[in-house]
């Protein structure tokens, strides 16, 4: 595959004098391509070009409805190329083809959704005094930086880029060093269709070009998805320049299964919530809180399902793909080796050698029953196919345990009793609560974001445009 160049100021950047980083296919641990190791100078060039583009006549000439039409065209382009994009996403991340296909469809939906909003974001008229016409005008916030992780590259890029372009901003995307392919594909489209500098794609290490961008005085807004420590450092850089951040930092989300739950619905959803994308999902249902009276039955069903899951590369039509890279793979195996003597590994948790893909990073999906909810593996985000289980007695203990982590992204509640469901949902500290479902098919329309250390702000939904606008109040004194 050809090397991936950065898109800066309308030019494809990267030559023999640059340093290059290998991109690895996690299904086989083989090199697929190389990206440019972006540096301070690249960061500065991108920001200067973005500032020019923001002021340019060409971009300002796009009327809001034309931005909307363009975003709809982008959605069509994504759908027309869905097969190729899904293949790139699978190659980069190792995720099963069906999952990659649904990620590509979600990306198209983001462009449609925010395309539809482009000409529907407007200000107010405020009654102050008879001779004062007071209005608010909505303006783009300016140069927006989108730092994207490796787990859902096309979805996460599309969700914030679509909202930012819809509201007239310019964007710089820093893709993950592990997964640049789908963003590069989109970059080619934007390069052809938009004035130079409106969409730019930079590559390289987070600590280098990523940090150079987050601390750059020319950046006006940052949307970051990734780990808590990196999110904190991004926020500190942003604070130096008084720049707003939207942070989506992951979770340790509980599925709470009450004794009256419909297990036929609950069990498959619980399995999917932790094995989807090999557990490398910020909203993974990685903690199972189960009523003591049904715990044995639930665990038996889950173990049966886990044993039936096929682990392997996309070409094997597997259910569970590889872990993204060697570092994450070793980290997860280390956590599994260190669960403590009182915890019980009920199934899985082993390194798997797949025929023909012996160097891929495969781990069999694991269920661990914890003796202590304070154990590190129950509290910390593992970001792998590992389900931690705790039994509870009564609704109050279920709620207490559900809230007893630093995170608060998503929760699932399983019960046929609407009062119990509602009572629990009202007390859960998380940005999203699902009752008798989990994930609800993604839903670009639903606000998504965290309480506590799961983040700041909301992505998705009509609310996300708020991240990308500024409000100007204009008061006009009228001579009556």
Instruction: Determine which residue in the list 27, 50, 282, 387 makes contact with ligand NAD, applying CB under 6 A.
Output: 282
Candidates 145-153, 302-310, 342-350, 472-480; binding stretch for ligand NAD (CB under 6 A)? 145-153
Positions in 157-176 near ligand NAD (CB under 6 A): 174, 176
C-beta closer to ligand NAD: residue 73 or 406: 406
456 makes contact with ligand NAD (CB under 6 A)? no
C-beta closer to ligand NAD: residue 176 or 415: 176
Q: Which two tokens stand for residue 440?
A: 């609800």
Q: DSSP for 256-285?
A: EE-TT--HHHHHHHHHHHHHGGGG--TT--
**Cα(388)–Cα(287) distance, integer angstroms:** 5
CB 204 within 8 A of CB 35: yes
376 makes contact with ligand NAD (CB under 6 A)? no
**Cα(193)–Cα(165) distance, integer angstroms:** 13
**Cα(196)–Cα(200) distance, integer angstroms:** 8
Query: Hunting for tokens 């009556």 — which residue is that?
Result: 480
Gyration radius from the chain CA atoms: 23
249 makes contact with ligand NAD (CB under 6 A)? yes
- Mark 241-274 as b/e (b = at least 16 C-beta within 10 Å): eebbbbbbbbbbbbbbbbeebeeeebbebbbebb
Backbone φ, ψ for residue 66 (5° rounding) = -70, -35
Q: DSSP for 83-129?
A: HHHHHHHHHHH---HHHHHHHHHHHHHHHHHHHHHTTS----EEEEE
Give the active site residue among 112, 177, 248, 369.
Answer: 248
Q: DSSP for 119-172?
A: TS----EEEEETTEEEEEEEEE--EEEEE--SSSHHHHHHHHHHHHHHTT-EEE
C-beta closer to ligand NAD: residue 95 or 174: 174
Candidates 40-48, 105-113, 246-254, 315-323; binding stretch for ligand NAD (CB under 6 A)? 246-254
Instruction: Determine which residue in the list 227, 350, 359, 470 makes contact with ligand NAD, applying CB under 6 A.
Output: 227
Q: Which two tokens stand for residue 29?
A: 């641990």
Instruction: Determine which residue in the list 158, 200, 233, 430 makes contact with ligand NAD, applying CB under 6 A.
Output: 233
Q: Draw the binding track, 174-203, toward ligand NAD (x: CB under 6 A; -: no contact).
A: x-xx--------------------------
361 makes contact with ligand NAD (CB under 6 A)? no
Candidates 22-30, 62-70, 147-155, 344-352; binding stretch for ligand NAD (CB under 6 A)? 147-155
Smallest gap from Cβ 62 to ligand NAD, in A, equals 28
C-beta closer to ligand NAD: residue 104 or 145: 145
381 makes contact with ligand NAD (CB under 6 A)? yes
Candidates 11-19, 130-138, 144-152, 394-402; binding stretch for ligand NAD (CB under 6 A)? 144-152
Q: Which two tokens stand for residue 339?
A: 């669960």
Output the CA angle 237-137-134, nearest 5 degrees. Answer: 125
C-beta closer to ligand NAD: residue 268 or 326: 326
C-beta closer to ligand NAD: residue 28 or 151: 151
Output the CA angle 103-114-277, nearest 5 degrees. Answer: 15
Candidates 38-46, 244-252, 303-311, 355-363; binding stretch for ligand NAD (CB under 6 A)? 244-252
Backbone φ, ψ for residue 81 (5° rounding) = -110, 25
Candidates 74-82, 146-154, 346-354, 359-367; binding stretch for ligand NAD (CB under 6 A)? 146-154
Backbone φ, ψ for residue 36 (5° rounding) = -75, 135
Smallest gap from Cβ 330 to ligand NAD, in A, equals 12
Element (H, E) at 346: strand 344-347
Distances (CA, A) of 112 to 87, 93, 105: 22, 25, 11
Instruction: Determine which residue in the list 207, 440, 474, 475 makes contact with ligand NAD, applying CB under 6 A.
Output: 207
Does the annotation count 248 as an active-site position? yes
| Residue 199, strand partner residues | 171
149 makes contact with ligand NAD (CB under 6 A)? yes
211 makes contact with ligand NAD (CB under 6 A)? yes
C-beta closer to ligand NAD: residue 23 or 71: 23
Does the annotation count 282 as an active-site position? yes
Instruction: Determine which residue in the list 4, 86, 234, 289 makes contact with ligand NAD, applying CB under 6 A.
Output: 234
Residue nearest to ligand NAD (CB): 206
* 210 closest CA partner among 162, 281, 146: 146
Give the active site residue among 282, 369, 381, 459.
Answer: 282
Query: What does the binding site for ligand NAD look like in residue numbers (CB under 6 A)?
Result: 147-151, 174, 176-177, 206-207, 210-211, 214, 225-227, 230, 233-234, 248-250, 282, 381, 383
**Active site positions, annotated:** 248, 282
């Amino acid at each position: 595959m050809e090397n991936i160049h950065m898109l800066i100021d309308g030019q494809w950047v990267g030559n023999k004098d640059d340093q290059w980083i290998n991109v690895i296919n996690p299904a086989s641990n083989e090199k697929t391509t190389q990206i440019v190791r972006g540096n301070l100078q690249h960061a500065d060039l991108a920001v200067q070009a973005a500032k020019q583009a923001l002021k340019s006549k060409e971009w300002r000439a796009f009327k809001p409805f034309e931005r909307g039409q363009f975003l709809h065209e982008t959605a069509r382009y994504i759908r027309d190329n869905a097969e190729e994009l899904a293949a790139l996403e699978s190659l980069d991340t190792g995720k099963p083809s069906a999952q990659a296909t649904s990620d590509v469809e979600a990306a198209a939906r983001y462009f449609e959704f925010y395309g539809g909003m482009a000409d529907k974001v407007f200000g107010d008229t405020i009654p102050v005094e008879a001779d004062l016409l007071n209005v608010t005008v909505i303006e783009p916030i300016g140069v927006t930086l989108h730092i994207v992780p490796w787990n859902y590259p096309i979805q996460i890029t599309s969700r914030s880029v679509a909202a930012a372009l819809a509201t007239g901003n310019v964007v710089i995307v820093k893709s993950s060093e592990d997964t640049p392919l789908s963003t590069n594909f989109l970059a080619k489209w934007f390069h052809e269709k938009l004035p130079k500098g409106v969409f730019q794609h930079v590559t390289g290490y987070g600590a280098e070009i990523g940090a150079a961008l987050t601390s750059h005085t020319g950046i006006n807004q940052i949307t970051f998805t990734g780990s808590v420590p990196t999110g904190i450092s991004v926020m500190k850089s942003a604070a130096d320049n008084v720049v707003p951040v939207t942070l989506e930092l992951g979770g340790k989300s509980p599925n709470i299964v009450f004794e009256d739950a419909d297990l036929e619905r609950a069990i498959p959803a619980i399995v999917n919530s932790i094995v989807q994308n090999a557990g490398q999902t910020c909203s993974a249902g990685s903690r199972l809180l189960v009523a003591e009276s049904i715990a044995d039955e639930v665990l038996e069903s889950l173990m049966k399902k886990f044993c039936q899951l096929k682990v392997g590369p996309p070409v094997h039509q597997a259910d569970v793909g590889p872990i993204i890279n060697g570092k994450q793979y070793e980290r997860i195996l280390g956590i599994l080796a260190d669960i403590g003597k009182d915890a019980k590994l009920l199934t899985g948790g082993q390194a798997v050698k797949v025929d023909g893909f012996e160097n891929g990073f495969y781990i069999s999906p694991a269920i661990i029953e914890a003796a202590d909810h304070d154990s590190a593996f129950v509290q910390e985000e593992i970001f792998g196919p590992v389900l931690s289980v705790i039994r509870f007695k009564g609704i109050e203990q279920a709620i207490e345990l559900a809230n007893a982590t630093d995170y608060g992204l998503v929760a699932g509640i399983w019960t046929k009793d609407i009062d119990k469901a509602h009572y629990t949902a009202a007390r859960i500290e998380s940005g999203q609560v699902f009752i008798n479902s989990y994930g609800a098919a993604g839903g670009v329309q639903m606000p998504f974001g965290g309480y506590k250390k799961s983040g700041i702000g909301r992505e998705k939904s009509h609310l996300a445009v708020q991240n990308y606008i500024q409000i100007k109040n204009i008061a006009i004194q009228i001579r009556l």
